[in-house]
Amino acid sequence: MSASKLVKPAMEYKESYLEALKEFHAEGRYDFLKVDELSENFPAFLEDLNEGRSHLHNPFADWVEPVPETNLWMVKENMFIGSFIIRHRLNWHLEKLGGHINFTIRPTMRGKGFGKKLLQKGIPFACYLGIDRALLTTSPDNEAAIRTIEFCGGEFADETPSTEQFPARKRYWLDCS
């Protein structure tokens, strides 16, 4: 069995990605991505992911300048395991909420060490994009994310309080140089 690796989203992972999407839907994530639509239009979906599309700052799309992001998938052979998204720079919205990096493991593959591997393997890609220090933010009650970020060397910066517009976040800086 080959090792897990980070790759550009590609056609060979279609079936596995769609299975993972059903798992994400079951936990209320990525509802805006429809399995049937993607199943029919997967090449267009891949093209969109691979073209360095801009992060959608919903519901603030009209209030922030777009920032390009790079999407990578963690795969093992033909199985999709998780995704790693790098925003190329920060704007006020990413500073408050999303940070430079978002990483997610599909629900059925969690708790097996893949989260730590994903973040470790993703750091050189952030470095390649010129990000020396990446901001990562997480909900204060997301124990798995906090442990993963700290395991990978993330340094706690602060905890922002919950406001009318934004949920509370723990913010970490991760050395990618």
Binding of ligand COA by 73 (CB under 6 A): no
Q: Tell me the site size for ligand COA, rule CB under 6 A.
A: 20
- Cα-Cα-Cα-Cα torsion 169, 157, 123, 80, nearest 10 degrees, comes to -20
Choose between 89 and 112: whose C-beta lies nearer to ligand COA. Answer: 112
**What is the rounded CA–CA span in Å between residue 42 and residue 33?**
11
Binding of ligand COA by 136 (CB under 6 A): yes
Site for ligand COA in 105-124 (CB under 6 A): 105, 110-116
Choose between 29 and 53: whose C-beta lies nearer to ligand COA. Answer: 29
The DSSP symbol for 164 reads S
- Contact by Cβ (8 Å): 177, 132: yes
Binding of ligand COA by 142 (CB under 6 A): yes
Calculate helix-pair angle for 143-151, 114-128, nearest 10 degrees: 60
Binding of ligand COA by 74 (CB under 6 A): no
Choose between 9 and 115: whose C-beta lies nearer to ligand COA. Answer: 115
**The only residue of 4, 70, 71, 148 in contact with ligand COA, by rule CB under 6 A:** 148
* CB of 142 vs ligand COA, minimal distance in Å: 5
* 52: number of Cβ within 10 Å: 11
Site for ligand COA in 40-59 (CB under 6 A): none
Closest listed residue to residue 130, CA positions, set 100, 163, 157, 96: 100
Strands 169-175 and 155-160: antiparallel
Site for ligand COA in 83-102 (CB under 6 A): 102
Closest listed residue to residue 112, CA positions, set 4, 24, 1, 29: 4
User: Taking CB positions, which residue lies at the least distance from ligand COA?
Assistant: 115
Contacts with ligand COA, residue ranges (CB under 6 A): 102-105, 110-116, 136, 138, 142-145, 147-148, 151
